Structure 1
Amino acid sequence: MNIIHVIVLAIIEGLTEFLPVSSTGHMIIASSVMNIASDPFVKLFTIAIQLGAILSVVVLYYKRFLKSLNFYYKLFVAFIPAAVFGVLFSKKIDSLLESALTVGITMFVGGIILLFVDAWFNKPTVKEEKDISYLTALKIGFFQCLAMIPGTSRSAASIVGGMSQKLTRTAAAEFSFFLAVPTMFAATGKKLWDFHKEGHVFTGEEIKFLAVGNVIAFVIAMLAIKSFITFLEKKGFKIFGWYRIVLGAVIIGLIISGHDLKTI
């Protein structure tokens, strides 16, 4: 891995973390093309720099995080399923982090779902986070677990989960952003611990890469969040559905036809 790889992956992370297109899926494809996907540090890097993007939520929505304890209780309830499933299936999840075919399939299937999600859930009644019940928060948390399959998109899974519980598009998207904070803090912490437990020691260069990656992801995500909310309110999810379908079909087609993504 070199500094160019770091910059490319961090920009991809910042742009895609909050869009329903799977930041992890995009980084797996990018790292496969750059022939670095199987590197243990790269696997760590693609998880760890999500922390930088997530911190942009805390900065942009800091007033919500200072609002009340109920806000944190709901996030904790919604976080529980991911914490449990993450511990139980961490090794399986890690093995999928270099599978471009998995990404292609989940991109395609997820895209089809996004084409219809606006029509399926078109009578929302919950417009603000304060109106979300604990049971609803827990259900959204279970939807988020689907994102443990690379290419699914944590954002897409939790937003669709929210809309299925009668949240508006904006309320579902914002709750998805908030839920990302404890989820990605935990995922990054666990990944760092596993990396250390396996006997890896960070080099000075790797520490620099993590710092640069997180800063870039933070700045790009700050710009992406507001644009996404504005677009979502006006246009909905169809364009993201078509994007996922096309990208998924291209990935699957290349693999089936015998092309190695590392040689693209």
Structure 2
Amino acid sequence: MTKPLIELCVEGIDGFLAAQDAGADRVELCASLVEGGLTPSLATIRATVKAAKIPVHVIIRPRGGDFLYSETEFETMVEDIKALREEGVAGVVIGCLTPDGRIDEARTKTLVEAARPMSVTCHRAFDMTADAGEALEALIRCGVNRVLTSGQRDTALEGIAILKSAHEQAGGRIVVMGCGALDAENIQKVRDETGLTELHFAALTTVPSGMTFRNPHVGMGGTEKDREYELTLTDRDAVRAIIAAAKS
């Protein structure tokens, strides 16, 4: 059995360093995982690439919410990708949809062309499409290298049938990378039942803030006040355990 490649979804430089130290094969670098991942700052990207001994893929997502972008938002995505070509980034992670739940092929092709020679992954915008089989063919036509998916369900376990079907449909034309609440208890089952060669997860833990002074009257950005005094970090021990399970 070929051991699967493991990609870690991380937030910021500290998350990257934890994932690299714990044995990740590759990372998807994000900001704001609470919103599913947004484009990190250029300084964060540069610090990560400088410290990297493994490939770094950067998400290109200007905001949270849906994947139906305005023209001005799309222009910023193109410019972000062009900037990253000069930064030693191995790949970018993108996703654009049409209002009726299809892959926006015109925009996807534009982003792929802007990215070369970097690798291009389509993120879980794929899971929001109306027809997984049709969406997979669209990504192949656009020249996308891989697609990240939980099988159009909340978890990979629930999406096993679609993950297996997508992998078989891909037939080596695109990599299907599975994700969705993978942990040390379930990752072998997903690996074995789908045949996937790449798996992706974020092993996160929440720890208390080091702040000793806490203002009880203010919550930033409309969040719960307690959220201001919590940090979400990549759990090195969990990463090691999940990778060991995936590769055993």
TM-score by shorter chain over 0.5? no
Greater share of residues in helix: 1
Q: TM class, shorter-chain normalised?
A: under 0.3
**TM score, norm. by length of structure 1:** 0.26
Of structures 1 and 2, the one with the larger relative CO (CA 8 A, separation 6+) is 1
**TM score, norm. by length of structure 2:** 0.27
Greater share of residues in strand: 2
